[in-house]
Amino acid sequence: MIPQENAHLRYACQLVLPGFNVEAQQKLANAKVLLVGAGGLGCPAAQYLVAAGIGSITIVDDDVISAGNLHRQILYAQHEIGRFKATIAAEKLQLQNPFITINAVIERVGADNVMELVRHCDIVVDGTDNFDTRYLLNDACYLLKKPLVYGAIYQYEGQVAVWNIATTDGKRTPHYRDVFPSVDATMVPNCAEGGVLPTIAGIIGCMQANEVIKYITGIGEILAAKLLMLDVQTLQSRIIQLQPASHTVVEALPKPIIAPEISISTYKANIAQYFLVDIRTSAERAFAHMGGVHLPMENLKDNPQLLDQEKPVLLYCASGKRSYELVKILQQVTDTPLYSLKGGMKAWLEA
C-alpha cells in the first residue's frame, strides 16, 4: 500500500477534484480490474488505470509484439518485437506505479478459463479484436453478474459502452448480445486488414479507462444502456440510447468451434502437402501475395465445392482472422481437411 503522504502527492490532482476525495481514491486502491487484450485499446486503458491507482490489474493476452503493432500499441518498442505483450506491459506499468499489483497472464481466453478469470475481478475491460472472445467475455460477465467495459475501433471510428450494470429494480442493463445478437465475423475486417488510425485506439482506450474509474468511484454517469460512437475524421460523436434493461438471456457459455491452424514455419517445411488458397480481395492480392489460388472469401462461402481437393486446403488472409472464421464455417459443409494460416500475410512478411 502506498504511504498516505506519498498518496497525496501522487494522486494530488485527482484528490482535489469536486466530488473526488480520499474515499474515492481508496475505492480505486481496493478495486480489481481484469483487462483482456494488451493491444491498441488495452495499452492506453492500462496506462491510465495504473496511473489513477487501481489496486490490482490482471492483463490477459497470449500474443507477441510484432512490427505492425507499434503504430498504435504504445507500450511497446522495436527491440521488444517477439516478446509477449502481457509480460512487457506488466513490467513497464509496474515501473509507472510500484504501489499497485499488476499480474500478467499469458493465455488465450477460452471457455476453459474465462469464468475463473472473470470471477475474481470487480469489472472487466474488453480490449480484444475478435468476436469469439468478445461474445465469450460478455457471456461470462452476464453469468457472473460482472460489469464489462466494451470498446471497438475500425479505421476512423470507435465505440464505447458499459454492459451488464445492476439497476435499482434488480435487473441488468443491456449487454453485447442485446445490441449485436450475431455478427458474421468473416465480413468484418480487423485493424490489420481494414486499417485503423492510431489515435482512435488511444481515444477509445482512454474512454474505457474513464468508465472504469467512474464505475468504481461512483462519480459521474457511466455509459450504461448507451452506446457512444465517435468519428475522428470529423470529431463528431453521438450517444445512442439503448433499452433500459437487457432482454437477452444467456444460459451458458457458447460451445466453442475451433478451426485448425497451421503456422508459417510448419507450412514452409511442408509446402507441397497443402493446396494454398488466398481468400482476400483482388486489391489485397494485387498489393502482395504468397502464391496459391485466388478464391475470394465471398465466392467460397457460397461455393464450398471449390475446395474439393485431394490435398488438405490451407486458407490465408491478411492476418489470419478471416481465414480462421471461414474455416469454422466451411468445415461444417465439406469433408476436405481445411486449415487457416496463423497470422496470415502479416506473419509471412514478418518471417
Cα torsion 231, 232, 237, 243: sign: positive
**Of all helices (H) and strands (E), which one includes residue 159?**
strand 157-163
3-state secondary structure of 154: strand
Alpha-carbon gap, residue 340 to 257, rounded angstroms: 14
φ, ψ of residue 347 to 5 degrees: the values are -65, -35
End-to-end CA distance of the chain: 44
- Active-site residue set: 191, 317
Cα torsion 188, 193, 194, 196: sign: positive
Alpha-carbon gap, residue 213 to 309, rounded angstroms: 54
Residues 6+ apart with CB under 8 A from 59: 35, 38, 42, 46, 86, 89, 90, 93, 102, 103, 104, 105
CA-CA distances (angstroms) from residue 348 to 72, 264, 266, 320, 339? 21, 6, 12, 11, 16
Torsion of CA 174, 180, 182, 186, to 10 degrees: -140
Alpha-carbon gap, residue 12 to 116, rounded angstroms: 35
CA atoms within 13 A on the CB side of 244: 5
C-alpha cell at 345: 500475410
